[in-house]
Amino acid sequence: MKRFRPVPYELKVLRVLNSRMILSEKERLDYINAEKGFEGELKFDQLTKKLQGEVFIINNLLLKVGNTYFQIDTTIIFQTALIIFEVKNFEGDHFLESRKFFKFPKREIKNPFNQLDRNTSLMRQLLQQLGFQIQVESWVTFVNPEFSLFQAPLDLPVILPSQLNRFMKNMDMQPSKLNSVHKRLAEKLISLHHEKSPYTQLPVYDYEQLKKIITCPRCFSFMVLLGRNKCICPKCSYIEKIDSVVLRSVDDYRLLFPERKITTQGIYVWCGEVVSEKIIRRVLKTYFKEIGFGRWVYFE
Which parts of the chain register pLDDT below 70? 1-3
Burial class of 67 by CB neighbour count within 10 A (0 to 12, 13 to 18, 19+): exposed
DSSP 86: E
- Residues 287, 290, 296, 300, Cα dihedral to 10°: -60
For residues 87 and 73, the answer to whether their CB atoms sit within 8 Å is: yes
79 and 72 Cβ atoms separated by less than 8 Å = no
H/E run at residue 291: strand 290-291
Spatial separation of the C-alpha atoms in residues 96 and 294, rounded to whole Å: 66
Q: Where are the domains of the chain?
A: 2-191, 212-299
pLDDT for residue 21: 96
DSSP annotation of 89 reads: -
163: nearest Cα among 149, 176, 175, 179: 149
260 and 253 Cβ atoms separated by less than 8 Å: yes
- The pLDDT, as a whole number, for residue 263 is 96
Residue 31 CA, distance from chain mean position: 12
Please tell me the predicted confidence (pLDDT) of residue 2. 61
Name the maximum alpha-carbon separation found in the chain: 71
Helices and strands per DSSP (H, E), number in the chain: 8, 15
Q: Are strands 147-150 and 135-142 parallel, antiparallel or unpaired?
A: unpaired
pLDDT computed for residue 235 by the predictor: 92
Q: What is the pLDDT of residue 185?
A: 97
pLDDT at 1: 58
Query: CA angle, corner 39, sides to 36 and 44, nearest 5?
Result: 130
Distance, in Å, from the CA atom of 277 to the CA atom of 296, rounded to the nearest integer, reads 15
Burial of residue 104 (number of CB atoms within 10 Å: 0-12, 13-18, 19+): exposed
The whole-number pLDDT of residue 18 equals 95
CATH of domain 2-191: 3.40.1350.10
Expressed in percent and rounded to 5, the helix, strand and coil fractions of the chain are: 40, 25, 35
